[in-house]
Structure 1
Amino acid sequence: MWKIYSKIAWRNLKKGKRVALINIFGLTLGITAAFLLFTVVSYELSYDNFQSNSDQIYRVVTQDEYSDGMSYTPGVSPPMPEALKADLSGIEAIVPVVNSSVFVTLDEAVTGSGENNFVIEDAFFTTADYPSLFDVEVLAGNLNSLNDPGQVALTETEAKKLFGTWENAFGKPLLLSKRIEASVGAIVADLPDNSNFRFDMLVSYKTMESNEEIFDTYFDEWGSFGSNFQVYLKLPEVGNPAQINQQLQAFADKNYKDRGTSKKSFFLQPMNDIHFDTRFDPISGEMIRKATIYTLALIGVFILLMASINFVNLSTAQAIGKSKEVGIRKVMGGSRGQVVFQSFGETFMVVFISATISTLAATILLPYLSKVAEVPETIQLITPTFLLFSVAIVLGVTLLSGLYPALILSGFQPIQALKNKIQVAQIGGVSLRRSLVVLQFVIAQVLMIATVIAVKQMTEIQNADLGFSKEAVYYFDLPSDEPRDGRLDVLKQRLEANSQIKSVSISSDVPSSNNNWASNFWFDDKREDVPFMASLKYGDADYFDNYGLQFAAGTGFSESDTLKEAVINETMAKRLNVANPEDAVGKRITIGGGEPWMRITGVVKDFAQNSLREEVKPFIIATERESYYVMGMKLDSSAGQQTLASIEEEFKNIYPDAIYSGEFLDETIANFYRRENQLSLVYKVFAVLSIVISSIGLYGLISFLVGQKLKEIGIRKVLGASISQITFLLSKEFIYLVLIACVIALPLGYYLTDQWLQNFSYKTTVPVGLYVLVMLVSLLITAATVGFRAVKAALDNPVDSLADE
């Protein structure tokens, strides 16, 4: 029986090759898209799922409530881990984790090479309790060594990088920050890419505790909060997070009541939320909004739905052609169930062929997936989860695409079928198919609107006036473990002597960065905290000219190594209720509360300190040599690779043992919006895909209508109707369908894109012309697709359609 059904199904597919190929092409597009999007979504949702204790692990996070809103940080103050151990009950383990880059020096006698200085970007300072929370595979040694100062554990990759092979690394000495003697007490396996806890090295927590000045971390400073200083808890399997949150609130009341200008509180963040909660950065790795994941999944569902709609339209368009076959089968004793089974068999064969081709296509496209999503280039397509998803897709699409055509075909009356008397009403009419086409165009138009707005938003962000000059600005990091001595001035003078360099400045960071340093402050000689925090940057006297910052009032400050004078931004002046920027010049301000008081020399116009997702913050810029970590310079338009090489050479002459790392400011800023640019590219790809699939759907419906109106078309032609009149007759109702789709899609598209734009403080405007453009494009696509089939029908010989009358 199965063999017979398979042969019949294959025969029918070969008989209707054109329709079969169109069906396979449409389904292949939809299933390939679904496979690729499933790979991205499943990867994002898999973050840290390999951790065996993930349901029991929580991060303690900080919330500050100000009079004008909330502020969040994933970090705590250095004294808190020990204090929490004393104050919290019902906890299995409390583990501090501090992420920092560390300069490592190896003994040349050990490595046997001249390359002995390295920067390890992600070093976790933690305790020997770390593996009681997080899964770590130890290849050599023991992580109990983290109980002792000067002990480190290297990942396999980092050990190979430093010592050639990881076997050679175990037990070897090394120097941290050029002053701390340490040794490799363990080698651990690399963590998977889908983890927000990827590290290159674990360093014993006691190493940081016993070297506070070197790491600029002081374990008696309750008011110091850094996003990289985090603490994690492990609750029992029957633990109660709500109860721990109550204890944390009591802890905050005990230690932070009436301290500072905010109401501080702490609460638990589940480990499974770390990858998705945009309020708190992960300690390492990437994060993604859950809304983005839902958007990707929804696009996949919509594209698959559109492909299934096409199959329904084309299959029902073929139904009349199969009426005699169904009639004969029923006259010969075939049951309705057998007809349904045969119809589903044909659908399954088409879907299975499409899924097979889609798997091959997805495999070919997989290396390019990292261009539109944050997935590793080595990501695998064929996994047990993917195979289950593939089976579900084949069965689901078969049911979705095959149910309606199967019910229609099996419902034919044999006498009418054999006499070719099947009418439109007997195959469900065209109202359902029209509704499906409207749905297709709603989806296509929403994606088109999203694409245009996303591209417009990102284009305007890239071209936005940030309040400073980002073009031809090059900068490099200064070695954090070197003293801020006269070498900084020597390096600056040598770079200024280069004719290809217009200006040079030393600062804490460039104008727009991920830096979020902030502090309480006093203003206008009043010895009380202002009720909001001030964001901070430190720079020399050349900072403003070098980066093209402009003043609303006053001027920049004079050169100084310490806090002496300051510049504020316009937002700060407004928040301080200063009527005019000029009125702020000459007043005094102090950071942190206490000496020294600094005279305000100017008010700089607002500029984007972070990405344009964030609002401009009240700002203080001052001089403090000890806080300078970046040297930036404005290059001449004629500067090239030779200039960059000479900059690196000067750096190496001054800091021969340091690691050099330079980049252009515009590239750094562009990296802020990497996720958004990827998402806009996804919209572009799937908007085009939806248009292609919609066109196939239109072709299916017009084919169905032409099949039902062959005699009407023949009669009209015999009576003298022109080709244009017949084409208009067949095309006009599709214009109505597209217009109906526009009425639904335009407000829906506006709402969805408006929600996305809420992620930015700087938002593009959406002109009415954009919606008109989308509507016109949809109408043009409709005219091209429907017109092609309608003209062909109008050109057919009327004798052929009237021959059996």
Structure 2
Amino acid sequence: MWKIYSKIAWRNLKKGKRVTLINIFGLTLGITAAFMLFTVVSYELSYDDFQSNSDRIYRVVTQDEYSDGLAFNPGVSPPMPDALKNDLTGIDALVPVINSSLFVTIDNAVTNTGDNKFIVEDAFFTDSGYAQLFDVEVLAGDLKALDKPGQVVLTESEAKKLFGTWENAFGKSILLAKRVEASVAAIVADIPDNSNFRFNMLASYQTLKSNVEVFEYNFEEWGSFGSNFQLYVMLPKESSADQIDQQLVAFAEKNYKDRGSSKKSFFLQAMHEIHFDSRFEPISGEMIRKATIYTLALIGVFILIMASINFVNLSTAQAIGKSKEVGIRKVMGGSRLQVIGQSFGETFIIVFVSAITSTLVATVLLPYLGKVAEVPDSIRLITPSFLLFSSAIVIGVTLLSGLYPAIILSGFQPIQALKNKIQLAQVGGVSLRRSLVVMQFAIAQILMIATVIAVKQMTEIQSADLGFSKDAVYYFDIPSDEVKDGRLEVLKQRLQSNSQIKSVSLSSDVPSSDNNWGSNFWFDGKREDVQFMTSLKYGDADYFENYGLQFAAGTGFSESDTLKEAVINETMAKKLNIASPDAALGKTITIGGGGPWMTITGVVKDFAQNSLRDEVKPFIIATRKSQYGVLGLKLDKNAGKETLASIEEEFKKVYPDAIYSGTFWDESIANFYQRENQLALVYKIFAVLSIVISSIGLYGLISFLVGQKLKEIGIRKVLGASIPQITFLLSKEFIYLVFIAFAIAVPLGYYLTDQWLQNFSYKTSVPIALYVLVIAVSLLITAATVGFRAVKAALANPVDSLTDE
């Protein structure tokens, strides 16, 4: 029986080739989009799922409560790991993890390449408990060595980079930060890409504690909190994190009561939240907001619904043409259930062919997926979860697309069907199809609104006045362990003599970056903490000119190696209730409390210290040579590759044992918004896709209407109606559908985009012209799609439609 039904279904599909191909094309677009989005969403949701203890691992995070709000930090202070080991009960393990980049030197005789200097990014200082918490595949050695000083563990890839092969690396000696000897105690397999704990090296925690003067960590400083100094715990099975949180409340009360300018508290963050919680950055890897995941999933659902709507419209438009076939089948004894089965069979074949085609298309597009999402090049499409999802898609779309046409066809009365008396109302009428097309256009217009606003936001961010000049600024890191030996000034003087370099500045950081260095402070001679934190940067006297910072009052400070004078920003002046920027000049301020008092020489206009997602923070800029780690240069507009080469050459002359890596500042700033730019590109792609699918839906509905009005069109032509009149008759009602969809799309689109814009402190305006553009594009698409089919119907010979009665 099923074999016969399959043959009949295939025959019917071949008979209506044009509609079948349109259905397959529309469904292929929708299913391909769903497959690509599923690949991205499932990858993001899979972060660290491979960790066998993921449901038991938590990170200890820090919250500071100030008078004006909350601040969050994923890190803890250096003394806390040892203190919490004594204070916390009811845990299976407590492991410190400190992320750093390490300068590594190895013996030339080992590498045989001539390269013996390397920068190892994402080097974790930790102990052997790391392997108890996290799954690590050991290729050689033993991770218990991490409990001893001078021991490191390399990943397979890092070992190959340093020693040629990982087998050759095992047991070899290396030099950390030019002064600390260490031995490669183990080799482990590379960490999967979908992890927020990707490291290249594990170095023993005791190495860090034994060399505090090299790595500059003070294990007695309770007030120092760095985002890279993190602490993880593993709870027993069936244990509650609330019990540990209560102990952390007591710990904060014991160690931080009346300490600093904030009320400090600590709590546990579940491991499965690390990838999605924007309050606390991961120790390595990427973070994505859950709202972005939901947005991508919602877009996929929208596109599938639109494709299914097209199928319903085109299938019901064909229903009257199949009425005689249904009538004969019922007269010959066929039941309604059999007709439904036959209809679902045809739908299943179309959906199945579309799914296979979509899989092939998605495979071809997979290498380009990294353009719109943070996924690795090694990502695979065909996985067990994909096969399950694709099966669900085939079944779901078959039911969603085939149910209504099957009910309509099976409900035909055989006598009416055989006499060709099936009326418009008996196949659901036009009202349902109109509602479905309105839904399609509402979705398309929502995506158009989101696209225009996202593009406008990102365009304005890229051209916004950030409070500094980022163009033609080039910078690179300075060897931090050699700041005091006088070579910095030598390098600066040599670079200043280059005619293609307009200015040179030494500092702890560029004005706008991902770094956040904060401190408590005293103000105006009062020896008490001000009730909010200040952000910090250190720079020389050329800092302000080099980066184009503008002054609201006063000037920069004079050159000094130590804390002597300071510059604050406008936000700092306002939060200190200073009447005007000029009134701040001459007042004194000290960082950390108890340090040297500095005289305020100027107030700079507010500038974007981080991305424009963040609000401007109160800021202090001062001189402190011991903290300089960046050299920035303002280049002449005519500077080219030769200038960059000469900069590198001068650097290597002064620092022959260091590694050089320069970056243009505007490129670093652009990286702040990589996720947002990718999401804007997703909106663009799927807005275009929704327009294409909507056009197919419109074509299906106009085809249905033309089929119902063939005789009316013929009569009107015989009575003298012109082609423009007939075209207008068939097209005018679609204008109403577009405006109804627009009325639905505007509030929904505004709400969704407003939620997205809340991620930015700097928000674009949403002008009325944007909505005018959306409705104009919608009308243009409607005119093009409907007009083509309407003109074709108006040009048809009326004799053909009037001869068959």
- The TM-score, its normalising length taken from structure 2, stands at 0.99
Can you list the C-alpha shifts for 1:521-557, whole angstroms capped at 9, x where unaligned?
1111111111111100000000001111111110000
Partner of residue 517, structure 1: 517
1:542 aligns with 2:542: yes
Determine the structure 1 residue equivalent to 2:171: 171
Structure 1 residue 804: Cα displacement: 2.4
What one-letter code is carried by the residue in structure 2 that aligns with 1:367? P
Secondary structure of the corresponding residue to residue 466 of structure 1 = coil
Residue of structure 1 in register with 2:386 after alignment: 386
Per the alignment, residue 700 of structure 1 pairs with 700
Aligned partner of 1:69 in structure 2 is 69
CA distance in 2, matches of 1:324, 1:741: 36
Q: Please state whether the residue corresponding to 1:268 is helix, strand or coil.
A: strand
Code of the residue aligned with 1:706 in structure 2: it is V
Task: Give the equivalent residue in structure 2 for 1:193.
Answer: 193
Distance 1:483 1:93 in 2: 39
In 2, the alpha carbon distance for the partners of 1:73 and 1:661 equals 29
In structure 2, give the amino acid aligned to 1:439.
M
Residues 146 and 152 of structure 2 are in contact (CA less than 8 Å); yes or no, is this contact kept in structure 1?
yes
SS at match of 2:259: coil
SS at match of 1:184: strand
For residues 377 and 713 of structure 1, the distance between their equivalents in structure 2, rounded to whole angstroms, comes to 56
Deviation at 1:482, TM superposition (A): 2.5
Alignment match, 1:569:
569
Greater Cα offset, 631-640 or 47-56: 631-640
- Residue 765 of structure 1: CA displacement? 0.5
State the 1:2 CA deviation. Answer: 1.9
Q: Say if 1:103 and 1:481, in contact at 8 Å, map to a contact too.
A: no
1:25 aligns with 2:39: no
1:281 and 1:681 map into 2 onto residues whose CA distance is 24
**Which residue of the partner structure matches residue 495 of structure 2?**
495
Give the CA deviation at 1:314: 0.2
C-alpha contact (below 8 Å) 1:581/1:603 kept by paired residues: yes
Kindly state the Cα deviation for residue 112 of structure 1 after the two structures are TM-superposed: 2.6
Deviations 1:180-235 (A, max 9, x none): 11000000000100000000000000000011111111111110000000000000
CA distance in 2, matches of 1:180, 1:482: 15
Q: Which digits, 9 at most, give the CA deviation of each residue in 1:417-454, with x for residues without a partner?
A: 11110001111111111111000001000000000000
1:591, distance to aligned residue in structure 2 (A): 0.4
Which residue type is aligned with residue 607 of structure 1? F
* Secondary structure of 2:152's aligned partner: strand
Distance 2:607 2:375 in 1: 33
Superposed CA deviations along residues 613-647 of structure 1, whole A, max 9, x for unmatched, are 00111100000001111000011111111111111
Distance in 2 (alpha carbons) for counterparts of 1:471 and 1:705: 59
1:309-344 CA distance string (max 9 Å, x none): 000000000001111111111111111111111111
Amino acid at match of 1:380: R
Name the residue aligned to 1:611: 611
Distance across 2 between alignment mates of 1:689 and 1:2: 36
Q: Which amino acid aligns with 1:665?
A: W
Match of 1:560 in 2: 560
Letter in 2 for 1:25: F
Q: Deviations over 1:50-69 (max 9, x none)?
A: 00000000000000000000
Are positions 1:650 and 2:646 aligned together? no
Q: Which residue of 1 aligns with 2:325?
A: 325
The residue that corresponds to 2:286 in the other structure is 286
Tell me the residue number matched to 2:218. Answer: 218
Q: Measure, in 1, the Cα distance between the counterparts of 2:679 and 2:481.
A: 39
- Structure 2 distance, partners of 1:645, 1:329, is 82
1:686 and 2:702 aligned: no
**1:423-434 equivalent positions in 2, closer than 5 A:** 423-434=423-434
CA distance in 1, matches of 2:386, 2:482: 51
Checking the alignment, whether the CA contact within 8 Å between 1:521 and 1:593 is kept in structure 2 is yes
Residues 121-178 of structure 1, C-alpha deviations (whole Å, 9 max, x = no match): 1100001111110000000000000010000000000000000000011100000001
1:11 is paired with a residue whose SS is helix
Letter of the 1:222 partner, please give it. Answer: W
1:701-730 deviations in whole A, cap 9, x for unaligned? Answer: 111111111111112222222211211111
Match of 1:757 in 2: 757
> Aligned residue for 2:87?
87
SS in 1 for 2:766: coil
Give the match for residue 346 of structure 2: 346
- Partner residue, 2:629: 629
Whether contact under 8 Å (1:104, 1:176) holds in the other structure is yes
DSSP 3-state at the match of 2:690: helix
CA distance in 2, matches of 1:439, 1:485: 70
For residue 108 of structure 1, report the CA deviation from its aligned partner: 1.7
- Where 1:460 maps in the other structure, the secondary structure is helix
Letter in 2 for 1:264: K
- Counterpart position of 1:134: 134
Aligned to 2:366: 366
Q: Distance in 2 between matches of 1:271 and 1:430?
A: 53
* Cα pair 2:483 2:628 within 8 Å, conserved: no
2:780 is aligned to: 780
TM-score scaled by length of structure 1: 0.99
> Identity over the aligned pairs, expressed in percent?
81
The match for 1:768 is 768
Question: Offset of 1:47 from its aligned partner?
Answer: 0.1
- Return the letter of the residue paired with 1:716: R
**Distance in 2 of aligned mates of 1:659 and 1:5:** 72
CA contact (8 A) 2:522 2:592 kept: yes
Please state whether the residue corresponding to 2:482 is helix, strand or coil: coil
Matches within 5 A, 1:379-458: 379-458=379-458
Q: Which amino acid counterpart does residue 114 of structure 2 have in structure 1?
A: G
Amino acid across the alignment from 1:184: V
Deviation at 1:109, TM superposition (A): 2.4
Whole-angstrom distance in 2 between the partners of 1:312 and 1:747: 27
Matched residue, 1:246: 246
Give the gaps of 5 or more residues in structure 2: none
Instruction: Please say if residues 331 and 414 of structure 1, whose CA atoms lie closer than 8 Å, have aligned partners that are also in contact.
Output: yes
Deviation at 1:481, TM superposition (A): 2.9
What secondary structure, in the 3-state scheme, does the structure 2 residue paired with 1:123 have? strand
Once the two structures are TM-superposed, the CA of residue 383 in structure 1 deviates from its matched residue by 0.7
**What is the root-mean-square deviation of aligned Cα atoms in Å?**
0.7
Unaligned ranges ≥5, structure 1: none
Q: Does the CA contact (< 8 Å) of 2:483 and 2:625 recur in 1?
A: no
